Amino acid sequence: MPEAAVKRVEIKSAERLRALMRDYFLDLDAAAASDERRVAWCTSVGPCEILSAFGFATYFPENHGALLGARRLSHELIPRAAGIGYCPESCSYMNSDIGCALSGRSPLRDVYGIEGPPKPDLLVYSTNQCREVQDWFEFFGRREGVPSLGIRPPRHLGEVTPEHVALVRRELVDLIGQIEGRFGLVLDSDRLEEAVRLSSRASALWGEVLATARARPAPLTFWDGAVHMAPVVLMRGSRAAIDYYETLLSEMCQRVTSGAGAVPRERWRIYWEGMPIWPRLRELSEKFQSLRASVVASTYCNSWAFAPYAGGDPLEWMARTSIEIFINRDEVTKQAFLVDMVRRFEIDGVIFHNARTCPNNTNSRFGMPQRLREGLELPVLVIDGDLSDLRFFSTAQTMTNLEAFVEQLEGGAR
């Protein structure tokens, strides 16, 4: 039953995260204004280590898309993109980001005091997550008159073979050649290896942070993870991300030792499959807390916990990492991952988010919820919604469904 009085335990490292994010955006803004520095835009699991090694300040538009969602601006901005021919049912990150550029105002002004996203010198995408990022970046390539380059790895893989890795590695080599040719640069292989080492270390620490939620009670939830994952997405080739996750990990380990849960008196342990619903993150977090349900693990947050780099060819690690990610796998591999997560985190029930404008990061459309329910004998709920666009989300309906779901857990029903 709902317990509205249960108090949320704040994560102390959040203050440091805010400072880190501020420094990151101010540095990007300074890089864009400087004649000596260059800015590259990159997709979230794109080849950012190459860009760092070339010395580009790297910016990730998906983060801006999430910010537009969290600030509940998407419904005003998406029609601007629709007005120039972008289907309003396509990716709401893309549409709201394009709409934001057309409207000329960004929440980055309120949050960090900068006018908006840094002007790019180069855009680099990987379609390992979706083709939408290619169209998104090509819009900005045309608008800003800068190159939009990318790699197009093989999609929806079961087993990742040496041939797949070799193919993507060749794409990365070709990308490096194009950047060298267009900007008159030469890639320093030591710098690339250093960027990969830092990236892998940040990613490993992030994975360790998420793994602390195996404890009962879990010291952090998906709602915390959705916020604290920012450095591993935006700064993963940097020392700053490593320092941050060492601090956060230490705080989470202390919580585990002292038995402090993110949800006091945690009763149920939930898995979240799919994108966050950014405009309703706080309401959902509070709802789960009132139900004493801790969302202890998610596919989304784990998407940046890569296999470690153990030395050797950094491009091979990048190639393998870019195609091994969950979103790029076939249905059988995804299901095996979810089953493993359910067991490792001792999950009582699974929630799938059917994000209407992101079929790529939605896994409830081809029978997966039913297969998990039957295979694991676990309650499973599918929520309709979207990462940003509130046209597709009913708060009242969802909250009612969540209450019924937790009652199902209490009744031991499957």
187 dihedral zone (left: phi>0; alpha: psi -120 to 50; beta): beta
Q: Which residue, 91 or 409, has its beta carbon nearer to ligand SF4?
A: 91
**How far is Cα 179 from Cα 184, in angstroms, rounded to an integer?**
8
Taking the least distance from each CB to ligand SF4, the nearer of 62 and 121 is: 62
Binder to ligand SF4 among 101, 133, 263, 318 (CB under 6 A)? 133
| Residue 100 or 205 with smaller CB distance to ligand SF4 | 100
CB of 275 to ligand SF4, least distance (A): 6
Q: Decide: is 132 part of the binding site for ligand SF4 (CB under 6 A).
A: yes
- First CA to last CA distance, the chain: 18
Distance separating alpha carbons of residues 100 and 117, to the nearest angstrom: 10
Residues touching ligand SF4: how many (CB under 6 A)?
A: 12
Considering the complex, what minimum distance in angstroms separates the CB of residue 62 from ligand SF4? 6
Residues 384-403 that bind ligand SF4 (CB under 6 A): 387
DSSP codes of every residue in 284-308: HHHHHHHTTEEEEEEHHHHTT-PPP
C-alpha 361/C-alpha 43 separation (Å) is 15
**94, 135 in Cβ contact below 8 A?**
yes
Torsion, Cα 338 17 235 152, to 10 degrees, reads 40
Interface segment toward ligand SF4; rule CB under 6 A; list 71-79, 96-104, 130-138, 142-150: 130-138
Please tell me the distance from the alpha carbon of residue 13 to that of residue 22, in angstroms, as a whole number.
14
Is residue 323 at the binding interface for ligand SF4, with CB under 6 A as the rule? no
198 binds ligand SF4 (CB under 6 A): no
Q: Does residue 98 belong to the site contacting ligand SF4 (CB under 6 A)?
A: no
Give backbone dihedrals phi and psi of 122, rounded to 5 degrees, phi first: -155, 145
**Any contact of residue 358 with ligand SF4 (CB under 6 A)?**
yes
| Closer residue to ligand SF4 (CB): 98 or 130 | 130
Residue pair 410/349 in contact (Cβ under 8 Å)? The answer is no
Residue 148 binds ligand SF4, judged by CB under 6 A: no
Provide the minimum distance between the beta carbon of 93 and ligand SF4 in the complex, in angstroms, as a whole number. 5
DSSP assignment string, 333-369: HHHHHHHHHHHHTT-SEEEEEEETT-GGG---SSSHH
Structure tokens that stand for 61 in this block: 């538009």
Binders of ligand SF4 among residues 3 to 62 (CB under 6 A) are 62
**Structural contact between residues 271 and 383, judged by C-beta atoms closer than 8 angstroms:** no
Should residue 91 be labelled a site residue for ligand SF4 when binding is judged by CB under 6 A?
yes
Give the residue, chosen from 96, 285, 361, 363, that forms a contact with ligand SF4 under the rule CB under 6 A.
361
Closer to ligand SF4 by CB, 43 or 238: give it. Answer: 43
Of the listed pieces 80-88, 125-133, 192-200, 260-268, which binds ligand SF4 according to CB under 6 A?
A: 125-133
Is 360 one of the binding residues for ligand SF4 (CB under 6 A)? yes
Least CB distance from residue 128 to ligand SF4, whole Å? Answer: 10
Taking a C-beta distance cutoff of 8 angstroms, is the pair 232, 202 a contact?
Answer: yes
Does 130 help bind ligand SF4 (rule: CB under 6 A)? yes
- Which tokens belong to 390? 């509130």
Structure-block tokens of residue 276: 């966050």
Residue among 58, 129, 221, 354 that touches ligand SF4 (CB under 6 A): 129
Instruction: Please give the Cα distance from 407 to 356 (Å, whole number).
Output: 27
Name the residue nearer to ligand SF4 (CB basis): 237 or 274.
274
Minimum CB separation of residue 142 from ligand SF4 in Å reads 18
| Interacting residue with ligand SF4 among 94, 114, 192, 315 (CB under 6 A) | 94
List residues binding ligand SF4 (CB under 6 A): 62, 91, 93-94, 129-130, 132-133, 358, 360-361, 387
